[in-house]
């Protein structure tokens, strides 16, 4: 019995969204990757996916000068699709036959401790925008939240407590902790608010009576971080994710174990968290050079 590949792709996307609980953006990406594979291979039945078809598709991607990491996104989507077919009892190419391209270790975008302090101190004044932006920066560093998680926060969060729960990637819930500095910054900002929106972070030039379309989106938060980084005299590219990196490396430098950092960041796999150990290794190398030198013994 044949199974139309486009029909099976649609069933797979619905499965990913509903049963696996992936975000709409993830579903859209999977749709894009699989649609390109189907159009390239001209395969009509899901059973006809072959190692040769995948090999030719990989060659085509590689000859488009796509980065290995980007090529792997296509392969991960295709492998997930094949696992779905297997679960449905449809005989096709084994997912295990698709190997990801080897990629170099991802370099971390980092800022120094001094640059971080300058960034956090950059929003001065007691106007609503300065108070809001200070709260954004302090909360990002205190919690290690992803920018999407920060955007989802509402005023319902109890900022008198030391922690709160957040629904993160893959709809997984984790606990994040808030520092005294972040708590004070958020409460000072909320005390200045006059609008009635439920969103925690909102645009400042709005009608206070409006309850809709006030929340800052991802781009707005990114622009805010970039603006204050420039104001702080930081020449590097600074994003909310760079602050998340700073959160993780700060924990490791101060003795936190990798498993705890994994839980605080909301990583599903500890291998993702391990990229931060290289930063700690660099710090150890610096300490070794500073304190273990033959010149010091003369």
Could you write out the DSSP letters of every residue in the chain? Answer: ---BHHHHHHHHHHHHHHTS---HHHHHHHHHHHHHHHHHHT--BGGG--HHHHHHHHHHHHHTT--HHHHHHHHHHHHHHHHHHHHTT-----GGG-PPPP-PPPPP----HHHHHHHHH---SSSHHHHHHHHHHHHHHHH---HHHHHT-BTTS-TTSSEEEEE-GGG-EEEEE--HHHHHHHHHHHHH-----SBSSB-SSS-TT--SS-B--HHHHHHHHHHHHHHTT--S---HHHHHHHHHHHHHHTT--HHHHHHHHT-SSHHHHGGGHHHHHHHHHHHHHHHS-GGGG-
Of 36, 169, 174, 203, the catalytic one is 169
**Is 276 in the active site?**
yes
> What is the pLDDT, as a whole number, of residue 106?
59
Number of residues assigned to the chain: 298
Mind listing the pLDDT tens digit for each residue in 263-273? 899 888 887 78
Q: Give, to the nearest 10 degrees, the angle between helix 24-41 and helix 5-18.
A: 160
Whole-number percent of the chain with pLDDT over 70: 88
pLDDT at 72 over 80: yes
Of 146, 183, 189, 245, the catalytic one is 146
Contact 114, 228 (CB under 8 A): no
Task: Provide CB contacts within 8 A for 91, sequence distance 6+.
Answer: 47
Mind listing the pLDDT tens digit for each residue in 197-231? 899 999 987 665 665 558 899 999 999 999 999 99
Mind listing the pLDDT tens digit for each residue in 159-202? 999 999 998 887 788 999 999 999 999 999 999 998 888 999 99
> What is the pLDDT, as a whole number, of residue 49?
96
pLDDT at 66 over 90: no
> What is the pLDDT, as a whole number, of residue 90?
94
**Res. 20 pLDDT band, cuts 50 70 90:** confident
The region that residue 255 occupies, defined by phi over 0 for left and psi between -120 and 50 for alpha, beta otherwise, is: left
pLDDT at 280 over 60: no
Task: Tell me, yes or no, if the two domains 5-97 and 113-288 fold the same way.
Answer: no
pLDDT at 293 over 70: no
Q: Does 21 or 244 have the greater pLDDT score?
A: 244
Of 174, 193, 241, 278, the catalytic one is 241
Class of domain 113-288: mainly alpha
**Is 42 in the active site?**
no
Mind listing the pLDDT tens digit for each residue in 231-279? 999 999 999 999 999 998 888 888 888 888 888 998 888 877 877 776 6
Of 132, 134, 244, 245, the catalytic one is 244
**Is 3 in the active site?**
no
> What is the pLDDT, as a whole number, of residue 122?
96
**Is 244 in the active site?**
yes
**Is 292 in the active site?**
no
Q: Give, to the nearest 10 degrees, the angle between helix 258-265 and helix 240-253.
A: 150
**Is 259 in the active site?**
no
> What is the pLDDT, as a whole number, of residue 28?
94
> Mean pLDDT across the chain, nearest whole number?
88
CA–chain centroid gap for 2, Å, is 39
Whole-number percent of the chain with pLDDT over 90: 62
Q: Could you name the CATH architecture of 5-97?
A: Orthogonal Bundle (1.10)
Phi and psi at 89, nearest 5°, equal 75, 20
- Where exactly are the structural domains of the chain? 5-97, 113-288
> What is the pLDDT, as a whole number, of residue 195?
85
Compute the average pLDDT of residues 27-45.
96
Instruction: Give which of 122, 130, 117, 139 is closest to 230, Cα–Cα.
Output: 122
């Amino acid at each position: 019995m044949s199974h139309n590949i486009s029909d099976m792709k649609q069933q797979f996307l619905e499965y990913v969204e509903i049963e696996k609980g992936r975000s709409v953006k993830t579903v859209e990406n999977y749709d894009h990757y699989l649609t390109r594979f189907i159009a390239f291979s001209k395969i009509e039945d899901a059973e006809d996916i072959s190692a040769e078809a995948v090999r030719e598709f990989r060659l085509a991607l590689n000859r488009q000068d796509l980065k290995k990491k980007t090529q792997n996104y296509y392969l991960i989507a295709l492998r997930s699709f094949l696992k779905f077919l297997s679960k449905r009892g449809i005989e096709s190419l084994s997912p295990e036959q698709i190997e990801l391209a080897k990629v170099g270790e991802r370099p971390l975008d980092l800022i120094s401790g001094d640059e971080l302090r300058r960034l956090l101190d950059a929003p001065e004044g007691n106007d609503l925008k300065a108070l809001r932006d200070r709260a954004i920066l302090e909360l990002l560093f205190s919690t290690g939240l992803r920018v999407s998680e920060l955007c989802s926060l509402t005023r319902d969060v109890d900022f008198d407590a030391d922690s709160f729960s957040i629904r993160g990637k893959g709809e997984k819930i984790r606990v994040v902790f808030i520092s005294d500095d972040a708590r004070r910054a958020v409460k000072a900002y909320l005390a200045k608010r006059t609008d009635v929106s439920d969103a925690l972070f909102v645009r400042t030039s709005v009608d206070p009576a409006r309850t809709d379309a006030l929340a800052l989106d991802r781009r707005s938060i990114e622009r805010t971080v970039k603006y204050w980084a420039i104001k702080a005299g930081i020449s590097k590219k600074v994003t909310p994710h760079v602050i998340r990196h700073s959160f993780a490396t700060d924990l490791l430098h101060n003795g936190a174990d990798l498993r705890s950092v994994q839980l605080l960041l909301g990583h599903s796999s500890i291998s993702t968290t391990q990229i931060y150990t290289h930063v700690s290794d660099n710090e150890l190398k610096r300490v070794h050079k500073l304190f273990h030198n033959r010149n010091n013994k003369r």
